Amino acid sequence: MSCDGRFSAGTVAMAFLLGGAVGAGVAALLTPRSGPETRERIREQAYTVKGEALRVADDVRDKAENLLDKSREYVEEKKAVLESALEAGKKAMEREKERLLAKVKKEAEEEADAES
């Protein structure tokens, strides 16, 4: 979720919103209006920007939570696969150990029979 590799989409969105807020504030201050009208316009712009910033923050939080949930599911799946492979490896090793012990025992018996 990267715009150009250095900044996340949430960071870019917040920068865009803050830039818009600053621009709106400067525009409100530079327009030929009375003091109370200008202050009311600035207040309205601040509420608008605050609402938009909260919406973007909620969207980013939701996306982060979804990504975290997917990551946890992925890790759990891979953990289950690894545990299964480990268990299969242990069983195969035990079978091979038993086979080798039987082979060594058989060879020892054959050697003992050949000596007698």
SS3 labels along 28-88: HHHCCCCHHHHHHHHHHHHHHHHHHHHHHHHHHHHHHHHHHHHHHHHHHHHHHHHHHHHHH
Residue 8, beta-bridge partner list: 2
- Domain-wise residue ranges, the chain: 9-115
Mean residue pLDDT across the chain = 84
What share of the chain has pLDDT > 90, as a percent?
A: 36
Place of tokens 């530079």: 30
Average pLDDT over residues 86-115: 90
Note the pLDDT of residue 1: 45
Note the pLDDT of residue 2: 46
Over residues 58-85, the pLDDT tens digits come to 988 999 999 999 999 999 999 999 999 9
